[in-house]
Chains A and B, each alone.
With several copies, the nearest count.
Chain A
Amino acid sequence: MDLSSLTEQDRMKMLQLLSEKQMKDTMRLYNSLVERCFTDCALDFTTRSLTSKEEQCINKCADKFFRHSARVGQRFQEQQVILMQQQQQGDQPAAAQQQQ
């Protein structure tokens, strides 16, 4: 991202945009998490409220997803750093340095 050409006003807008984007991402995460854990855990439609078994499943599903998502985020960032270093070293093939 080259932001050097931004005016002061657009720099402010950028920050606002970022926070809106973050808000939206959180919403999306929230809604997709609900959909996923509901789909995997709510299996009994003979009752109107969640059974304790379903509730436990939902709790574990959400916890596991948070941890999964955080781990993917960490690995993703590490890979980004490696990729940037490779690009600075003059575009060597990405695969070569990633073995095992």
Chain B
Amino acid sequence: HAQPPMSLMQQIAQQQASADALRQAEQEMEAMADVFNRMVDACFKKCIPSKYHESDLNKGESVCVDRCVAKYMDTHIKIGKKLQALGEQAQAIQEQQMQQAA
């Protein structure tokens, strides 16, 4: 049952990679759930009057919900691109500063 050193290292590295993938998957699940929950809330506020006359979604509410989801996703994507551009900009400035410092 003696383990050669290299194989042990590999084993540890594999376990680390697995733990990292697990944490990342966990974070992605949470991020997705957060998006969904906020969308549910936002579209409920936009489309469902708080009078609750009946249990069903009526025609007008249903159409509103469909459009609301589409618009929400659109907003999500647009702001995502903005954030990405901002991140790249910040990185470019940082790199420029590091070059000037060198």
Contact = CB atoms under 8 A, between A and B. Distances in A.
Contacts of B39: 72, 76
Contacts of B74: 49-50, 94-95, 98
Interface in B47-101: 47-48, 50, 52-57, 61-80, 82-83, 86
Size bracket of the B interface: 35 or more
A1 B20 CA distance: 12
Contacts of B9: none
A64 B31 CA distance: 24
B67 A45 contact: yes
Given A41-B52, A50-B75, A68 B18 contact: no
Contacts of B15: 7
B35 A31 contact: yes
Interface of B: 14-15, 17-31, 33-48, 50, 52-57, 61-80, 82-83, 86
Interface of A: 1-7, 9-10, 13-14, 17-18, 20-21, 23-28, 30-42, 45-50, 54-55, 57-69, 71-73, 75-76, 79, 83, 94-95, 98
